[in-house]
Structure 1
Amino acid sequence: MEDKASLLTGSPAQLTPTRRSLLAILACVGTTIVATPLLGYLDLANIVMLFLLTVLLVAVKLGRNAAILASILSVLLFDIFFVPPRFSLAVSNIQYLVTFAVMLMTALITAHLAAGLRQRAEESQRREQRTQALYQLARQLAGTLTIGQVAEIAQGFIRTQLAAQSAILLPDEEGQGLAAVSRDESPLIEPHLALVALEGGQLVRSDEISGLGYAPLYLPLRASMRIRGVLAIRFAESSPEPSADTLSLLETVASLIAVAVERLHYVEVAQASEVRMLTERLRSSILSALSHDLRTPLTAMVGLADSLFLVKPTLPPTALETAQALHEQAARLAGLVGNLLDMARLNAGEVTLRRQWQPLEEVVGTSLKLLGSALAGHQVKVDLPAELPLLNFDAVLIERVLCNLLENAAKYSPPGGAIELRASQMADTVEVTVSDQGAGFPAQCGDDLFKMFVRGAGTSGLPGSGLGLAICKAIVEAHGGAISADNTPQGGGCVRFALPKGTAPLVEAEPQ
């Protein structure tokens, strides 16, 4: 009776098949012992109900196989102990055979339905537990701040729910392979299978390498924008073959990890962008404030240096040389402050383009005149085709671009070196190229040359602040064009910028 009580109240989830069968036998024997004293008071039909009740309880508690055993054993015990002649398998009335058949069929059907109901209840409970676990996993991943925390939470979930080892693989900084987020309990990784899963976006499985300690299962971390990495899984050697439900659970976990990794990526991008914006804003504010505060005294210094040449009587030659040096340095510093102010205005978007349809030749000629002294020691070659169309640009700003490029070419070219300025028509743009015969640009700089305060290697002995190309880039891009720098095959630097053609207005010829 104690065994029967434990059967009715205990939890048999951890019972072995042998113990289940033994409990089913004890339940049928216990029912026989209980029903024997009631034989004189109850009809055989009522005693059959007791055995059917026992079969139902066995099916609910112990499963289908134990219920089938209880059904057959109940028919035998009912025949031996309750059907005359008792204590034998003989039957005095042929009608009891029908009773046995109906009892066995009823018991089997009852056992099947009860066991199926129990199995569905267990599956439903298991799904509910996994759903709750996935909800907790999603909530924990939503609060992570680093990739390491994502790996720790995900590996803990997989270890608890599936008794498996796992590793999160993310592309390295060079984009050449995958690197595991370091954890001590991570399994060995087969790099080729991981790359196949990353590039193909599908689950990759190879059970042959599982016995060698490698993870046999690789799931892509597929996020909304792209695949962020790979989740590697290795089950314990004693674990059964992963079922479809297990694979579905792992795919859900991989999706949650991918969402967390993508969220951290965009948080990092947003923070970096915000830092860059604040840095540029602060830099522009400082440049603007300094340039405004310095422009007035520098202008006064240039004027005072010029006035020294007009003093009567004339100053001694030594004093005039000092005044000339003062004038040059003050003018150079004033130009630097002007560049700073222009750069601050361009970055702040405060410059309004005064565009007009005009020929490029006029701006080129004006720029060459302004740089007459700076270009005096160089051979300047200008190639402007006669068929160049009118362009819609701000003449003052484009003149500033040409002056900066020509001044840089003269600064970095050897004495007497040639400087070439060419223009050519493209499909939708007009491209202007300024090249020299100097040392050229460093190959590793690239677009960094057009950033503020960036100068090429070997320029420490030359005057300059690294703002010229940055100003050119800002002006050209404000006109809807593009600018780039490279080296010519013959040696030397080459800067080219393109301005859009647009649709020029028709110019009517004047009558003769």
Structure 2
Amino acid sequence: MPRVKSPVERLSPGQKMVLSALACVLVAIVAAPLREVLDLANMVMLFLLTVLVVAVSLGRNPAILASVLGVLLFDVFFVPPHFSLAVSNLQYLITFAVMLATALITGHLTATLKEQAAEAERRERRTHALYEIASKLAGALNEAQVREIVAPFVTAELSGRCALWLAERDFSGDAAVEGFSPAIADLVMASGLRRVDHDAGHALYLPLKAPMRVRGVLLVQTPDRLPEADLAFVEALASLVAIAVERLHYVEVAQRSEVDMATERLRSSILSALSHDLRTPLTVLIGLADSISLAVPELPSVAQDKLDELREQTRRLAGLVGNLLEMARLNAGSVTLRQEWQSLEEVVGSSLKLVGDALGRHRLRVELPRDLPLLRFDAVLIERVLCNLLENAAKYSPADGEIRVSAQVAGDFVELTVSDQGPGFPEPLSGDLFDMFVRGNGESTTPGAGLGLAICRAIVDAHGGRLRVANHPDGGARVLVSLPRGEPPLIEPEVA
């Protein structure tokens, strides 16, 4: 709360000067009957004491007036000839000079000490006020509470109003402060420097500079122009508000991350449980379909076609369940890489053999340089990546389209590219394509659950590589898998 002013502090400068003159006159009236009792040196002490009292209570300018007026009254009432400015002895002029100098110096030093004491008291009060609001801001739970804490504080300490505009927030609620300018707030946000809006009176815009970034703008509007000491006080307030807003931001980020992690763990657990429980009946279904197709005598053609379709859909469902289980294992971090130095050509060849039926009538083009270095990777997992990419290329390419597999050395990586002649990825390309259950075209009739790229991304990241997608200028999609080269071991030549 602001300090209550004393009755003397409420007086105007003119009233203080009048009181100073009355004090000197009162001392002269009281001391006049004592002229025959006290000598002049003691009379001088009375007027010096008056100057000291005036300086302590009323300030510097009234003390100067009391010094001059005290010398004049001493001369008129106590130095012969009385009731005249003339002096009978020139030595009194030295007395007047010493008295005036002593009074002026005493009044000046006393007033200076009083001002310093008042300034120290004001700084201590402001420091205590900042400490209290810092304690309140540390307990704020949201941005609305920050506003509720800052607004009454500015009113109590500066007799003004304030508005708080936060970055990426709606500031319509701050328009209650007349003259609030979003344009100036944007300039302050961009420059990080305080600004004064002269069109809106004494409106001061201060950036909320937090340790990481500028979090917003604090507008303080006061009846009068703020002195330099109050500017430092307001800037300290803006720093406290900025720290509180940034703390709330990171608390919100942490809470959101914790919720996302808990959601992801729950989803992975559910997928893992469902996938594990579904694999056994699906395996049984595939086995039964295979055994029925081998039955003697052979089934009619219509029944055989339906049986083939049943077996195909069951295998597709089994593949989907396998992808779900693999994704759950990768997210849980329970996969241990069995990395060995081996040739990329062998993994590409085995992957092509595994997906031979899925490629159908597509034309396959493989371009692998002969001088590719050995790479250290888990062959089973990288084979899974290539199979997923080849199956996706076959799904989205025309029936007689070309699927191209190529590789090249790119700096510290070996880049493997799988491209097709399909419609390509939707523009603009984003990282959401690598999330689970996200497909390039959500309304596509092409079968799939949106897990292929997510699994590939997780496997490649586990190897310290990069997975990127792009569209070919002539049409079609490209998926680029970058695996780190490393330092393969030296192979000693065999002795003939």
Q: What is the CA-CA distance between 1:170 and the residue it aligns to?
A: 3.5
Cα distance in 1 for partners of 2:126, 2:255 equals 35
Q: CA deviation at 1:217?
A: 4.0
- TM-score after normalising by structure 2: 0.93
Alignment of 1:302-381 (within 5 A): 302-381=286-365
Write out aligned runs for 1:28-427 (5 A): 28-172=24-168, 180=171, 182-188=173-179, 194-205=185-196, 210=198, 212-213=199-200, 217-236=204-223, 239-240=224-225, 242-427=226-411
Quote how far apart the aligned CAs of 1:498 are: 0.6
Cα offset, 1:35, TM superposition: 2.0
Corresponding position: 1:20 with 2:16: yes
SS in structure 1 at match of 2:483:
strand
Aligned to 1:6: none
Per-residue CA deviation, residues 64-94 of structure 1 (Å, 9 max, x unaligned), is: 1101111111122222222333333333344
- 3-state DSSP class of the match of 2:268? helix
Contact map agreement 1:187 1:215 (CA 8 A) in 2:
no
Deviation at 1:363, TM superposition (A): 1.1
* Unmatched runs of 5 consecutive residues or more in structure 1: 1-8, 174-178
Tell me, what secondary structure is at the counterpart of 1:439? coil
Instruction: Specify every segment of 5 or more residues in structure 2 that has no aligned partner in the other structure, as ranges.
Output: none
- Map of 1:478 onto structure 2: 462
CA distance in 2, matches of 1:337, 1:246: 68
Aligned Cα RMSD in Å? Answer: 2.3
What letter is aligned with 1:368?
L
Query: What letter corresponds to residue 188 of structure 1 in structure 2?
Result: G
> Is the 1:169–1:181 contact (alpha carbons within 8 Å) kept by the matching residues of 2?
no
Task: Note the alpha carbon deviations across 1:116-149, whole angstroms, 9 max, x for none.
Answer: 1111111111111211111122112212222333
Change (3 A) 1:326 1:215: farther
SS in 1 for 2:206: strand
Distance in 1 between residues matched to 2:94 and 2:493, nearest whole Å: 120
Q: Does the residue aligned with 2:174 lie in a helix, a strand or coil?
A: coil
> SS where residue 68 of structure 2 aligns?
helix
Structure 1 pair 187/92, CA: closer, same or farther in 2 (3 Å)? same
SS at match of 1:298: helix
Native 8 Å contact 2:68 2:100 kept in 1: yes
Q: Report the alpha carbon displacement of residue 362 of structure 1 after superposing the two structures with TM.
A: 1.2
* SS of the residue 2:480 aligns to: strand
Query: Counterpart amino acid of 1:132?
Result: H
Matched-pair identity in %: 58
Partners in 2 of 1:143 and 1:448 — Cα distance? 37
Q: Structure 1 residues 442-451 or 189-198, which shifts more?
A: 189-198
C-alpha distance 15-291 of structure 1, shift in aligned 2 (>3 A): same
CA drift of 1:262 comes to: 1.4
User: In structure 2, what residue type is equivalent to 1:491?
Assistant: G
Give the CA deviation at 1:226.
2.6
Greater CA deviation, 227-236 or 371-380? 227-236
TM-score, with length taken from structure 1? 0.90
